[in-house]
């Protein structure tokens, strides 16, 4: 920061932005922007009543309806009894519109002043808890009991401590005049319409942020300078505060380097002086803060490093909550600590750090996982909602979805074809346990490479046709492999069948020779038991016939042919012998030989 002074207030009235600087750092921003601002009082009209959620929607004059809960409606009984459609209501904005949600309103009006807060519909007197002196609390209550009208409630603010009765009376009279103006305008105007808006940015900042520790107020216009001096003089605060007018050529926020603080407050990562850092992510439901040690390794032990990092993070978290105006549920993930003493020291430091926050944060317990739960009252819009907008490309998600390209059937076929040629593993490929199919095929490497190149070229030309052709080739290869296995089995069976047929033929010839032997015309007829001799004589005649005369050989050949034809006819009529028939013929031949 340039020329940073402790407890300084910078008010850029031209930009409607103010900053409170504490100990050389920006601690809080005040931004007066938007159609609907926190604290506005409207004359609204009831549009819709929803008993299912115990709420009603009212028209406040904007494109988004105001949300009115049953607890925020004065009176007893059901919501339908207290409200009617098209009814006129005086409501006040307690929560500014966020995103797609409209503003939240209430019928319990409160008008803040410098020392008091006027509650027109709630009787009673309440004193701020920060005023600890019982004597001072009693004095303030006694003064207000004499001053306030009947039926009106008042809350005494911390700034009223030590003030005179005249100052308190003056502040009360100003608030009562504002309330009377609201009532008279509500009777004469038609809904929806704005009845009251809190004072402008300059008055609001001085009322909320200016205190005894403030040393300087810097403004950018002469009109603002005169107004600040008059307000401080009326409030008797002009003695210790120096009011200056900025006359530079650059904007006031740029000259004071406050624009850098705004940009830094919109980032997720916040660096700590020791080398650690914070990650702050805000969602619609809650805000998550993660503490990391980063490059901080200067301590002697690990426990000391963790404790220093966590304590340093506590002060920065308390500052960031005010700076970013974060409200709702807050989860802080500190670095895990083993020592109970260190945990207590960190929690005490957290309570002290958030004490100056006017949003009244409530701290929960430290869990075993090092998580701390906090709640902080929402006061207006967060800084990110004012100075940032949702990304039109990612819609605020932080990433862009890519087009998911799923595999088509054609592409699957191409993969299978490539896998088959390159011998890649496939999930649905069947494994054959046959020993013949598991043998690798020996092919030269050159032919494999040429085939792969040819297939890749065909696939690039027409993927669908090439994929179908590859699938048919794969099926044909599988069928040929199966046929090879079947062929080998069939060859064995054929060999066995040939052996059986040869044996059967031999048995048929032996049986026919026994039944109808070929007898030469000159041979002697012998009984059946002497088959062996007959066969030998027939063989001798056949062997000697061609030597003696060719004519007789020819006639013998004709006779033999005729004999073969006659022998072939009864062979067809005979039954096919069994496998044991060969053994029987051998036994019969042995018996004949013995005889």
How would you write the pLDDT of the chain (595 residues) with one tens digit per residue? Answer: 344 445 899 999 888 899 999 888 899 999 887 788 888 999 999 999 998 888 999 999 888 899 999 988 888 888 888 888 899 999 999 888 877 788 899 999 999 988 999 999 888 899 998 898 999 999 999 999 999 888 899 999 988 988 889 989 999 999 999 999 999 999 988 888 999 988 788 888 988 888 888 889 999 999 999 999 988 888 877 778 899 999 888 999 999 999 999 999 999 999 998 888 999 998 877 899 999 988 776 767 888 888 899 999 999 999 999 999 998 899 999 998 888 899 999 999 999 999 888 888 999 888 878 799 999 988 778 888 888 888 888 877 777 878 787 766 656 666 677 777 776 665 554 444 444 444 444 444 444 444 444 444 444 445 556 667 777 878 788 787 777 666 666 666 666 655 555 554 444 444 444 444 545 545 554 444 444 444 444 444 444 444 444 444 444 444 444 444 444 444 445 555 555 555 455 555 555 555 5
Residue 54 domain flag:
no
Q: Which of 328, 361, 378 is the last residue of a domain?
A: 378
The pLDDT of residue 368: 79
Q: Answer yes or no: do 371 and 278 share one domain.
A: yes
Q: Answer yes or no: do 250 and 271 share one domain.
A: no
Comparing CA positions, the residue from 551, 526, 550 lying closest to residue 538 is 526
Element (H, E) at 67: strand 66-69
Q: Which domain holds residue 468?
A: 409-488
Question: What six digits make up the tokens of 390?
Answer: 């949702």
CA angle at 24 for the pair 22 and 25, rounded to the nearest 5°: 70
Q: Answer yes or no: do 300 and 319 share one domain.
A: yes
Burial zone of 330 (CB within 10 Å; 0-12 exposed, 13-18 middle, 19+ buried): buried
Residue 18 domain flag:
yes
The pLDDT of residue 438: 47
Q: Answer yes or no: do 251 and 270 share one domain.
A: no
The pLDDT of residue 211: 82
The pLDDT of residue 424: 60
Q: Answer yes or no: do 300 and 234 share one domain.
A: no
Query: What letter does residue 370 receive in the DSSP assignment?
Result: S
Q: Which of 224, 258, 292 is the last residue of a domain?
A: 258
Q: Answer yes or no: do 238 and 330 share one domain.
A: no
Residue 93 domain flag:
no
Q: Answer yes or no: do 371 and 280 share one domain.
A: yes
SS3 call for 243:
strand
Tell me how crowded residue 207 is: count the other CB atoms within 10 A of its CB. 18
Residue 126 domain flag:
no
Q: Answer yes or no: do 459 and 482 share one domain.
A: yes
Burial zone of 374 (CB within 10 Å; 0-12 exposed, 13-18 middle, 19+ buried): buried
Q: Answer yes or no: do 413 and 470 share one domain.
A: yes
CATH number at residue 286: 3.40.630
Q: Answer yes or no: do 273 and 373 share one domain.
A: yes
Q: Answer yes or no: do 251 and 291 share one domain.
A: no
d(CA 12, CA 251): 8
Residue 409 vs residues 65, 92, 406, 423, 464: alpha-carbon distances, Å: 52, 63, 10, 20, 9
Residue 368 vs residues 34, 339, 343, 364: alpha-carbon distances, Å: 43, 12, 11, 13
Residue 471 domain flag:
yes
The pLDDT of residue 34: 74
Residue 398 domain flag:
no
Q: Which of 209, 229, 258 is the last residue of a domain?
A: 258
Q: Answer yes or no: do 423 and 439 share one domain.
A: yes
Residue 333 domain flag:
yes
- Provide the number of structural domains found in the chain: 4
Tell me how crowded residue 28 is: count the other CB atoms within 10 A of its CB. 22
The pLDDT of residue 413: 66
Residue 68 domain flag:
no
Cα 111 to its chain centre, rounded Å, is 45
């Amino acid at each position: 920061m340039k020329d940073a002074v402790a407890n300084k207030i910078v008010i850029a009235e031209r930009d409607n932005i103010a900053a409170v600087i504490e100990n050389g750092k920006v601690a809080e921003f005040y931004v007066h922007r938007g159609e609907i601002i926190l604290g506005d009082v409207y004359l609204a009209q009831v549009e819709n009543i929803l008993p299912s959620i115990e709420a009603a929607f009212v028209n406040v004059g904007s494109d988004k309806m105001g949300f009115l809960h049953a607890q925020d409606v004065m009176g007893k009984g059901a919501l339908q009894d207290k409200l009617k459609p098209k009814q006129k209501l005086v409501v006040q904005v307690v929560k500014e519109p966020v995103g797609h949600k409209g503003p939240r309103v209430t019928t319990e009006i409160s008008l803040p002043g410098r020392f008091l807060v006027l509650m027109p519909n709630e009787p009673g007197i309440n004193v701020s808890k920060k005023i600890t002196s019982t004597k001072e609390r009693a004095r303030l209550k006694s003064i207000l009991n004499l001053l306030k009208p009947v039926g009106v409630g008042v809350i005494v603010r911390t700034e009223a401590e030590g003030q005179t009765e005249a100052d308190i009376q003056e502040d009360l009279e100003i608030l009562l005049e504002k309330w009377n103006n609201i009532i008279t305008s509500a009777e004469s105007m038609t809904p929806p319409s704005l009845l009251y808006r809190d004072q402008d940015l300059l008055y609001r900042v001085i009322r909320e942020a200016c205190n005894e520790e403030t040393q300087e107020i810097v403004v950018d216009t002469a009109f603002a300078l005169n107004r600040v001096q008059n307000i401080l003089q009326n409030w008797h605060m002009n003695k210790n505060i120096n009011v200056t007018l900025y006359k530079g050529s650059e904007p006031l926020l740029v000259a004071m380097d406050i624009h850098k603080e705004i940009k830094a407050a919109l980032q997720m990562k916040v660096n700590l002086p020791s080398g650690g850092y914070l990650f702050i992510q805000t969602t619609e439901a809650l805000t998550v803060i993660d503490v990391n040690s980063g490059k901080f390794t200067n301590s002697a032990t690990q426990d000391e490093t963790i404790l220093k990092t966590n304590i340093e993070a506590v002060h920065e978290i308390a500052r960031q909550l005010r700076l970013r105006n974060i409200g709702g549920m807050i989860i802080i993930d500190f670095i895990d600590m083993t020592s109970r003493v260190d945990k207590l020291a960190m929690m005490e430091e957290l309570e002290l750090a958030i004490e100056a926050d006017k949003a009244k944060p409530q701290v929960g317990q430290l869990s075993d996982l090092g998580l701390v739960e906090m709640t902080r009252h929402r006061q207006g819009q967060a800084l990110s909602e004012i100075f940032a907008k949702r990304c039109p490309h990612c819609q605020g998600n932080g990433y862009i979805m890519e087009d998911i390209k799923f595999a088509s059937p054609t592409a699957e076929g191409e993969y299978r074809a490539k896998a088959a040629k390159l011998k890649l593993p496939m999930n649905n490929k069947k494994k054959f346990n046959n020993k013949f199919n598991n043998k690798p095929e020996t092919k030269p490497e050159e032919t494999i490479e040429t085939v792969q190149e040819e297939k890749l070229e065909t696939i690039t030309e027409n993927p669908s046709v090439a994929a179908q052709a590859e699938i048919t080739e794969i099926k044909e290869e599988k069928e040929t492999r199966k046929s090879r296995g079947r062929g080998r089995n069939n060859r064995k069976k054929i060999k066995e069948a040939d052996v059986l047929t040869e044996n059967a033929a031999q048995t048929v010839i032996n049986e026919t020779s026994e039944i109808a032997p070929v007898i030469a015309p000159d041979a002697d007829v012998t009984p059946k038991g002497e088959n062996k001799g007959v066969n030998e004589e027939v063989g001798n005649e056949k062997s000697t016939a061609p030597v003696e005369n060719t004519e007789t050989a020819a006639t013998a050949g004709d006779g033999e042919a005729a004999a073969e034809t006659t022998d072939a006819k009864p062979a067809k009529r005979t039954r096919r012998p069994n496998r044991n028939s060969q053994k029987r013929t051998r036994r019969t031949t042995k018996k004949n030989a013995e005889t």
